[in-house]
Copies of this chain bind each other. A is one copy, B any other.
Amino acid sequence: MRNSLGRELPEKIGGNIVRPYTGEASPAEPVPAVTRRTVVRNRGENKLLGSLREAIRAVGLRDGMTISFHHSFREGDQVVGQVMEAIRAEGIKGLRFAPSAVVNLRDFSLADCVRDGAIDRVEASGIRGELGDRLLDGSVSLAQPAILRPHGARPRAIESGELTIDVAFIAASAADERGNCTGQIGKNPCGSLGYSFVDARNAGKVVVVTDTLVDYPCLPASIGQELVDYVVQVEQVGDPAKIGAGAARLTKNPRDLAIAQRVADVIAASGRFREGFSFQTGAGAISIACTKFLSQRMAEREVKASFALGGATAAIIDMYDAGQIRAVECSQSFDAVAAKAIWDRPGVVEIDNAAYSNAFSRGSFLDRLDFGVLGALEVDVDFNVNILTGASGRMMGGLGGGPDVAAGAAVSIVALPIVRGRIPSVVERVAACCTPGETVACVVTQAGVALNPRHRRYEELRADLRQAGIKLTTIEALQRLAESITGRPQEIPRTDRPAVVVEYRDGTVVDVLREFA
């Protein structure tokens, strides 16, 4: 079976019939929302427990259940490891591990948790690092292929009962003993808890894990006591200095700076670059540099933005402080500066990841986004984007909100170099299809800008860029140029064993990544 993107899919995975992706505007029936049972808690009952193990016993975690976490500390996270150690100590097996994303933990091996049977299923927006690598090379395997969903699809899956979370462990940089908690204050702030709201509302049990216990009531309270079963204090929940590591890093690479400059040119050339426009630049190396150049263009043209969306960075906060952005809607905080900014800046606000990106609701911020800048590992001549696997076959990234932003933004811009080292980035066919090409308006490389003739804003964007004197090339020309530099790399041979299923916003399957041979 092939989906509308031409990706080959099995008819069934793990006994379940695969629903192939059929197009961005595929209709979807309203689904009944499923939520947890309301509970009564006596007002005298103690929620503050002495250890994670005690909490695991108190919530009744059992073999086969589903647990969740947020990834707002990114590579600085210290809660996943501590909770998994406690789960191991309790001898619990066969869990479905369903964090908002699996990040590359430096000091803890999630692959070992699969090897020893503590985890046997994974559902997340990405599986960056060791666990992802081991799933792709087949050296560890799950009971079912891992399911990757973009950020906006996770709330839909949870609310519809497709992903039922039994116990959510929520890392908070401050909490009171009744469970009011936040990521904004305390010793180790991670900023927005945007990913965790849907878990807090829907999980069977909610455990808040904090390293800073504050007097009641915790102020601010991002997540309220009415949703929290237990609170556990640990030594440290995460290292804010490492939030910026991994995906969210700055660059001094001149090539990347040139690409970022060009992205800013494209934005500034658009008729949508006007007072009150909105943008999301994201956390990739090029994206962050792009924010800086965009700020310069805005100053030159005396244009201010109504809002910046998604993961906030120090560069975005600088723009807010300079009066260039009226509202910063943070579903995530990409560095320690952005993490702290929510608390003392009235226009820098924490938003629910569902409000940011869920297409299965009455609306999201993406519905009003003018420009979305997206990083990529590869893009192909159909504008399909790979944000997961590198040419080496390693798991280099996660879906994040990429597919959501591409579909949501009026103008979605994929920014990437045409080659990285000896590897082409503009290719004939992406190794992993993550974001459907029809949702990508434009590809920006150091070698030129290519517009997607199949994108709904093609005519508009072409006219704008031509008027601004920006020379356009074609995606095919970029692909040929890339191949002329690097040659055509050999494809890594794969088995037919599905290791990772890439789902779209609506739960249809965009691609299946198979184990390497």
Contacts and interface: CB of A to CB of B under 8 A. Distances in A.
A130 interface: no
Interface stretch (A24-32, A131-139, A420-428): A24-32
B225 A362 contact: yes
Contact of A30 (B37, B228, B360, B362): B37
Task: Please tell me how many copies of the chain the complex holds.
Answer: 2
Interface in A210-239: 215-217, 219-221, 224-229
Interface residues of A, number: 61
A352 interface: yes
A227 B362 contact: yes
Interface stretch (A38-46, A254-262, A445-453): A38-46
A362 B229 contact: yes
Contacts of A33: 35-38
Interface string A450-466: 00000000000000000
A367 B160 contact: no
B37 A225 contact: no
Nearest to A344: B346
A359 interface: yes
B40 A178 contact: no
A31 B37 contact: yes
A179 interface: yes
Given A36-B33, A224-B352, A276 B229 contact: no
A144 interface: no
Interface in A356-387: 358-368
A326 interface: yes
Contacts of A38: 30-33, 156, 159-160, 360-361
Contacts of A363: 41, 43, 47, 178-179, 225-226, 228
Contacts of A41: 361-363
Nearest to A159: B38
A354 interface: yes
28 contacts: A28-B40, A30-B37, A30-B38, A31-B38, A32-B37, A33-B38, A38-B156, A38-B361, A40-B359, A40-B360, A41-B361, A41-B362, A41-B363, A47-B363, A178-B368, A206-B362, A215-B326, A216-B307, A217-B365, A217-B368, A224-B352, A225-B355, A225-B362, A225-B363, A225-B365, A226-B352, A226-B361, A229-B362
Given A216-B306, A219-B326, 12 more contacts: A28-B40, A30-B38, A34-B35, A35-B35, A41-B361, A41-B362, A47-B363, A215-B276, A217-B368, A219-B347, A225-B363, A226-B355
Interface of A: 27-28, 30-41, 43, 47, 156, 159-160, 178-179, 206, 215-217, 219-221, 224-229, 276, 306-307, 326-327, 329, 343-344, 346-347, 349, 351-352, 354-355, 358-368, 408
